[in-house]
Amino acid sequence: MAYTFNEDIFIVDCWLDTEEKEKTLLKLIDRLKIFNVPIILCGHYPVKPRIQKQVDYFIYDSNNDILLEKDFREYEVVSDRWTIMNDYKVFNKVDFHHDYAIWLTMKNAFNLAKQLGKKYIHFLEYDNLPDETQYRQSFMEYIRSHDAVVYEYMKGSTNEPQPYSSTYIFSIRTDIALSLINKINTKEEYFKNKPNGWQLERVFYQTLKTITNNVFVSKYIPNDNELNIYAAWNRNGILKNGAIFQTYLAVDNNNLYIHFISGFSEKPADKDYLCEVNYGNKRFFYTVKKGEYHLELLGDYIKNETVRVFYQGIEIFTQRLNEDLYDFRRKNILEWKNKQSNRRFNIHFVDGPFVEILDDLPYKYNVQFINKKNGNVVYQTILSSNQWCKPSFKYYIDWGIRIIGIDNDYNGYHEFNPKNNRFYISFESKSLGDTLAFIPYVEEFRKQRDCKVVCSTFHNELFEKEYPEIEFVNPGSQVNNIYGMYRLGLFYNGNQVDYERHPYNPLQEPLQKIASDILGLDYKEIIPNVPKLGGHKKKRVCIAIHSTAQCKYWNNPEGWQKVVDFIKSKGYEVRLLSREEDGYMGNKHPKGIKTQPPSSTKEVLKVLQESHFFIGISSGLSWLAWSSGIPVVLISGFTDVYLEPFENINRIINKNVCNSCWQTHKFDAGNWNWCPIHENTDRQFECSKEITPEEVIGKIEKLF
């Protein structure tokens, strides 16, 4: 049947002390307006006029009658949450309880609803964003045949010996609401003689049941993080993002600890939870084991720092340390019974080996990083508990790590073991040529180390199907749970090669060997796997004349035109694959060519695979042509012959003039006319000027 809601009113309780909370309230108001039902906004915190204008009525009660910590004993309230383990005790106290203040807010709003002649009240805390359709069906319609519709705080909570329900979302008949709220009129009536039931949720539900048994437990099924979004501290843990574990802070002397507790007091956890903890500059992951308790040292207590805990990327705990150490410790104290070492190690190989020693006791250790290939100690240092160290080398080394206690009897050895572990290999170069040169060695690393590899390149679309055992991600992606990480590229430290990232001079060896060196592999030339896209061969030759600096061009003024004329005399189409326009940086296209329209890398690859051969310079398109499997004629003087591949490459270089400056000088990408020896002289770019069209034609004659 269809329902109209002329006898209904919404009551929204709010505490808007942040912009995020204001935004959440406005979203809720927008959802409620679709029902065309009046809205009462109420609370003990001032609300901006622009927000008041979004509702029909606003009740502000400046008498925020909270119960302060100093009053807990007088009102028989036990506010501590405590944990007592074999070797420690943790006690946490709250500053106040706002339960009775919310009770008064309800009383104010319920009375206004009565004055307005409304029969049905729908109560919501501001931090609920329920689904409109399901909310109408589960609460607004069901209240027509019941005195109250409640929502269980935890599954089965309304059937416990001391039952309770949520107070952040419920519907109730106005006369029932007033009978309920008028049962309790003072703090004494609210708190005293209720040793098991002083929480608002228990007081509300148990009082409701003294008035009526016609109470329906709503079947509403919440989506993730849509109800009670800004839940306050409570003794049973806050259920956010499905994480059934608790986190509390405590202080021992000036050391701040985070206390993890699996499950809630009324709901045990059924699995482990991997969470991320942030405190100042400290970031780490911790697995809350099913059924376990654990203390983790965060470091010194630092006033105004914030502790945050994330589960699956969602922040589920946050606490700002806005008190002096003494005040915080008084309410969050850690007491040791028999303090013993709980030494743990955090060891990984992300951008080089990393060792962190975690312990509740202040011990010292000698940490040695050993190259197992020759037994040399590459780096060693003295490390105290709760400190970390790492050597500067970031390329592959078969590491052994020895840790020897100085003021304790610990003696341990950790071996680098890639097998079955997860590695992240990041391509730091966007260059197509570099990418094609490096990718085969990522696969070799995976196979030879028998490990799992996650890889990021700027050309993933070329490789995802060709290397199915590699997990490809976009550059800049966050990759978790990795044992090690390597970055592939050409790295400098100022004007010098960065030998902390390269074991050998990358300028003096083949481009592909840069990757095999960084990944610790024996070098052999490997053609990368690329998609097979081409169909039947066409009577076509492809060329690419442009690049990213003039030194890479074939600078013979007659070269390209004579070669194009020769190819066309054989009855072949000449297809220019370069994207740059005619005249780019003063470089004219030869006449008689067909220009490839704007195309994806895969479309260019298909054109190459359908062509007879390719002529190019030292650029990414030459690497793509080589990868496609067709013969390549490569014209270059600024790189030596060993930089590019040998197999299926017809290389043309003039060794009788200045050549191969790439191997001896740092390339200046900001200087288009970079020619480090002869710039601004008659000999500028002679390395390619002196390669004649006749030499190139002599090479390609054999390819028809």
Instruction: Give the whole-angstrom CA distance, residue 524 versus residue 506.
Output: 15
Q: Tokens 């700027």 — which residue?
A: 458
Number of neighbouring beta carbons within 10 Å of residue 100: 21
Which residue from 621, 635, 626 is spatially nearest to 554, judged by alpha carbons?
Answer: 635
Spatial separation of the C-alpha atoms in residues 244 and 236, rounded to whole Å: 10
Beta strands in 200-353 (DSSP E): 215-217, 245-252, 255-262, 273-279, 282-288, 293-300, 306-311, 314-320, 332-336, 344-350
Structure tokens at 525: 């030339």
Separation of alpha carbons 114 and 176, rounded Å:
11
Q: Which residues contact 80 (CB under 8 A, 6 or more apart)?
A: 91, 92, 93
Q: What is the spatial distance between Cα 523 and Cα 327, in angstroms, rounded to a whole number?
A: 63
Half-sphere exposure of 30 (CA within 13 A, CB side): 7
Instruction: State how far Cα 298 lies from the chain centre.
Output: 22
User: Strand, coil or helix: what is 514?
Assistant: helix
Name the residue with tokens 């430290």: 493
Of the CA atoms within 13 Å of residue 317, those in its CB half-sphere come to: 25
Q: Distances from the Cα of 260 to the Cαs of 233, 264, 274, 309, 505, in angstroms? A: 15, 11, 11, 11, 49
Mark whether 131 is an active-site residue.
no
d(CA 264, CA 259): 13
Q: Where is 132: in which H helix or E strand?
A: helix 132-135
Query: Angle at Cα 438 formed by Cα 432 and Cα 439, nearest 5°?
Result: 90
Catalytic residue among 8, 434, 517, 640: 434
Q: Are 94 and 5 in contact (CB under 8 A)?
A: no
The catalytic residues are 434
